Amino acid sequence: MSAVRLVLLGRQGAGKGTQAVKLSEHYGAPHISTGDMLRSAVEEGTEFGRQAGEIMDRGDLVPDDVMVGVVTERLAKDDAVASGYLLDGFPRTVAQAEALAAMPNGDALQAVVNIDVPLDEVRTRMQLRARADDTPEAIDRRLALYEAQTEPLIRFYEERDMLLVVDGLGTVDEIFARLVEAIDRIRPVL
């Protein structure tokens, strides 16, 4: 079976993390979450982790050149070279998408999968699981930030004919089945 090399996109609350883990098992490709990598660095207490932690606490993005360095190294590791990857959380900006297209292994990206859940639906889901300090205003701010960051990326990949949109409404298993169907349709047949 040929390796999958994909980027996953989806609003917070779209179930992207859950699906990424299932897809990683199904295709045998590592799930590479830049958010998880940064959180590990924070826990390890390295100087890099300390700086990243401050940026994350502010709700800002870690600078593009730093993230590009992190992902370039990760995609060069044996498992990603041999088995492909499911990128989650990267790219987040058009500059990162351009850098990915020029990276060894990143240049072999096959498709970008957008798990699509309507804004009203994710807003409701986030409100249901929100903590007391998670006001509707804070939720709206986070969703607006995602929209501002991700809309240009969606256009970037649409223009390159690389975007797959999968309906993210339904049960975990229904959405997973749709994802596998959409991915298998575009994978090069060996």
| Contact residues for ligand AMP, defined by CB under 6 A | 34-35, 38, 55-56, 60-62, 67, 89-90, 92, 96
Quick check: bond before 91 cis, omega within 30? yes
The least distance separating ligand AMP from the CB of residue 9, rounded to whole angstroms, comes to: 11
The residue of the chain with the least Cβ separation from ligand AMP equals 35
The least distance separating ligand AMP from the CB of residue 108, rounded to whole angstroms, comes to: 19
Nearer to ligand AMP, 17 or 187 (CB): 17
The least distance separating ligand AMP from the CB of residue 66, rounded to whole angstroms, comes to: 8
CA distance 134 to 31: 28
CA distance 141 to 133: 14
Q: Which residues contact 178 (CB under 8 A, 6 or more apart)?
A: 166, 167, 170
Interior CA angle at 159 toward 88 and 5, to 5°? 35
**φ/ψ of residue 67, rounded to 5:** -65, -40
Q: Which residue is associated with the tokens 């041999």?
A: 82
The least distance separating ligand AMP from the CB of residue 2, rounded to whole angstroms, comes to: 26
Nearer to ligand AMP, 20 or 179 (CB): 20
Nearer to ligand AMP, 14 or 163 (CB): 14
Nearer to ligand AMP, 133 or 173 (CB): 133
DSSP annotation of 132 reads T
Tokens linked to 185: 């349709």
CA distance 96 to 71: 10
Nearer to ligand AMP, 76 or 186 (CB): 76
The least distance separating ligand AMP from the CB of residue 190, rounded to whole angstroms, comes to: 31
